Structure 1
Amino acid sequence: MTPLLARTETVLAELIGYPTVSSDSNLAMIAALAERLEDAGARVEVLASACGAKANLFATLGPDRDGGIVLSGHSDVVPVTDQNWSRDPFVMHREAGRLYGRGACDMKGFIAACLAMAPEFAARDLRRPIHFAFTHDEEVGCLGARDLVPQLAARGIRPAMALIGEPTMMRIIEGHKGCCEYRAVFQGVEGHGSAPDLGVNAAEYAVRYVSRLLELNEALKARVPAGSRFDPPWSTINIGRIAGGVATNVIAPRAEVEWEMRPVVQADQDFVKDAITAHEAALDAQMRGRDPRAGITTQVIGEVCGLEPMEHNAARDLIAALTGENGADLVPFGTEAGLFQTLGCDVVVCGPGSIDQAHKADEYVSLTQLETCLALLGGIGDKMCEPA
């Protein structure tokens, strides 16, 4: 084992020891990341969330200028509750060339590799900056990145490229759909079922709302972008949950509809949101016209933009040149990559480990994958030493 790989294993063991489940604080882990990066000579900022219990980290090695690359990963992990782990999920163990623990591949393995490489980067004559962006709450709607990216834009930080180290078995991913989740709550007015006109039936208006969503779902098929490589190639809407009512002889006083949209392009997301917002406003006016106590409210559970494949993508071309990979793929799962794309930089997803291991009991990343990741990061460091 090389000293660099051994250092990565040591760092990963430390990171797995922080139980950064999304429902809990990540501050201790962020403080540890900040200390390691500061020791390497990076300029480090810890950006607290509004609640104060979470934080993002943004750090830079190299010159203070435009360009360069962002290496990004999320600090939070999914729960281990009701999973049948063979060992303590927050104590890393090695077996048969694999490192086990919650977050090993999703995505503390990549973060550990970045931290292990930081002193190597610092020792080089960097002509372009290498940024580190480590976020909170990716698993529950990319909340940290949704705060961080606008902050970077407001400060005029303009990297040329971003590498999101989600587990892809080091395959290059250049696109994925967005994911937007909503809950529409219909407040009706209860009454006896024999006189439906004397109340406001929440379930009835929920059905009208869902009917419009189904119409929009069909309309999206006609909007499929030319050459789309997604499966299916168009944006989709899924009705995930409908609930409401009390009994067959009672006017339903309340109903809920939970639904999601997975847009291929931002224009489809805007199309659906504009249409369903207008329809909701019309239904809400009808309900309130019958009784001012009635109405509709919509809660945004999460809105994460997709990573749109681009014909010209310097990040894809760089990673391909360094890894020898031919071509790039699309994936069905979401990441923070699309948010970084809104900064105007070229973005790819590529990291150690398999998504098949993520979120499962006995999650692991192999030493071989970490070694491949370290080689890629080393190549990135070399490129950042070349003139822009």
Structure 2
Amino acid sequence: MATQVTPIEMIEKLISFDTVSRNSNLDLIDYVADYLAEYGVKSQKIFNDEGTKANLLATVGPDVEGGIVLSGHTDVVPVDGQPWDTDPFTVVEKDGKLYGRGTSDMKSFSAIALSLVPEMLEKGIKKPIHFALSYDEEIGCLGSPRMIEEFVKQDKKPRAVVVGEPTMMDIVTAHKGIVGLKTKIVGKEAHSSLVEDGVSAVMTGARLVSFIADMMAENKEKADQNSAYAPSPGYTTLHVGVMNGGTAMNIISRECEFVWDIRYVSEDNPQDFIDRFNAYCENELLPAMKAVDPECSISTEVISSTPALAPEKEGEAEMLCKSITGKNDTLAVSYAAEAGQFQEAGFSTVICGPGSIGIAHQPNEYIELSQVKASEQFIHKLIDELAK
């Protein structure tokens, strides 16, 4: 007999898997695949190159066009160093909230939908609901492209894609794109008392970080004060997150490396900022560096790229979610998700899910029970829509 679980029980189960991005997600994926198999629902695992992680694609209902994709990532951000009051991987209910890593971002959305698979089958939906569970979203939406590619191959174009990132069940029709980059500077070591004999990689890196900050300041200066992204920055932001370099205080540093990102609004082209950065390196910094030592260099590589989600004029996904939620307004958000990747593949896409992004990645992350109920009602109405 198939296992019947409530939405909260499924949330508890998915949270119990420690799927921090550095870890494998296969235990969670295997659990979901086995759960779906109990109801006769077949699923497909799409692995990473190492075979340590997998996406999961599964279809409930007839295998035809016109279905709805419910997309969610299975990985969560680390809890290291955060002052949690409870075990992050054990759901604790208190004061109308469920606490645990991933409750808001974003296992609850997938858990609620999975718990309602029996209802999907009982009501005999005439168009399918596709579950699309991905890995490594938190480190650059790395898993979803393989999953989307496989979905495209199957040639069963969906009516809409709903990505369940936390929006408090509001409808998000735009998110920023993100490009992640790594820059490495090679200078020339020397004693710090002989500054003209060396080239400081760290000090060169500092100038580059300052240049990146200047580009962002320009964007802020010309930003639309009525941007749909408000109160989040309504302009393309550039940020350096990690910087390492140098050996000792009295050694001119030979190497420096930093990672940075460009979070861009859909109207901007991130390559424009990369080109400006590279031109600054080539024209302003490298000539003087190479005059000291021809082996000096500055190299930058793109390590991740997620396209922006742009509003669709009368998009099918937007219209569907408006009809289900009864909401007429839409929002834009400054974070990135796999929604832009689905849209790039030709699928009408929005973001709409339970919980608050303001609580995501925080210690004592939680989701309000009222949001669980709201998401549950959303899926109930979606099932009824597909059963017509």
Q: TM-score, normalised by structure 2?
A: 0.85
Distance 1:87 1:101 in 2: 8
For 2:40, the aligned partner's letter is G
Aligned length: 383
Q: 1:313-332 maps to which residues of 2 (within 5 A)?
A: 313-332=315-334
Distance 2:24 2:68 in 1: 28
Moved more, 82-91 or 136-145: 82-91
Whether 2:15 is the aligned partner of 1:13: answer no
Give the aligned partner of residue 171 of structure 2.
172
Give the aligned partner of residue 113 of structure 1.
112
Q: Is the 8 A contact 1:80 1:361 kept in 2?
A: yes
SS in 2 for 1:143: coil
Give the aligned partner of residue 100 of structure 2.
101
Give the aligned partner of residue 71 of structure 2.
72
Distance 1:51 1:151 in 2: 18
Distance 1:226 1:360 in 2: 29
For 1:75, the aligned partner's letter is T
Q: Is the 8 A contact 1:220 1:268 kept in 2?
A: no
Q: 1:50-61 maps to which residues of 2 (within 5 A)?
A: 50-61=49-60
Superposition deviation, residue 188 in structure 1: 1.2
Give the aligned partner of residue 259 of structure 1.
260
Q: Is the 8 A contact 1:306 1:334 kept in 2?
A: yes
**Structure 1, unaligned stretches of length 5 or more?**
none
Distance 1:296 1:358 in 2: 35
Give the aligned partner of residue 366 of structure 1.
368
Q: Is the 8 A contact 2:225 2:234 kept in 1?
A: no
User: Superposition RMSD on alpha carbons, in Å?
Assistant: 3.1
Map Cα deviations across residues 156-186 of structure 1 (whole Å, 9 max, x no partner): 4532311111122212222221232322110
**Structure 2, unaligned stretches of length 5 or more?**
none
Distance 1:370 1:218 in 2: 40
Superposition deviation, residue 15 in structure 1: 1.4
Q: Is the 8 A contact 1:110 1:351 kept in 2?
A: yes
Q: 1:1-388 maps to which residues of 2 (within 5 A)?
A: 7-192=6-191, 198-203=197-202, 205-206=204-205, 209-210=208-209, 213=212, 216-217=215-216, 220=219, 228-231=227-230, 232-240=233-241, 244-245=245-246, 251-265=252-266, 267-280=268-281, 291=293, 293-386=295-388
Map Cα deviations across residues 109-131 of structure 1 (whole Å, 9 max, x no partner): 11111111122212334332211
Distance 2:6 2:144 in 1: 27
Distance 1:207 1:93 in 2: 45
Map Cα deviations across residues 272-326 of structure 1 (whole Å, 9 max, x no partner): 2344345556666875676453322324443222222233222122111111112
SS in 1 for 2:20: coil
Moved more, 99-108 or 249-258: 249-258
Map Cα deviations across residues 44-73 of structure 1 (whole Å, 9 max, x no partner): 101111121111101112333333211011
Q: Is the 8 A contact 2:11 2:103 kept in 1?
A: yes
Moved more, 289-298 or 128-137: 289-298
Q: Is the 8 A contact 1:173 1:348 kept in 2?
A: yes
Q: Taking every aligned residue pair, what percent have the same amino acid on both sides?
A: 36
Distance 1:151 1:286 in 2: 49
Distance 2:4 2:269 in 1: 44
For 2:374, the aligned partner's letter is T
Q: TM-score, normalised by structure 1?
A: 0.85
Distance 1:83 1:222 in 2: 35
Q: Is the 8 A contact 2:307 2:344 kept in 1?
A: no
SS in 2 for 1:134: strand
SS in 1 for 2:9: helix
SS in 1 for 2:106: helix
Distance 2:176 2:271 in 1: 14
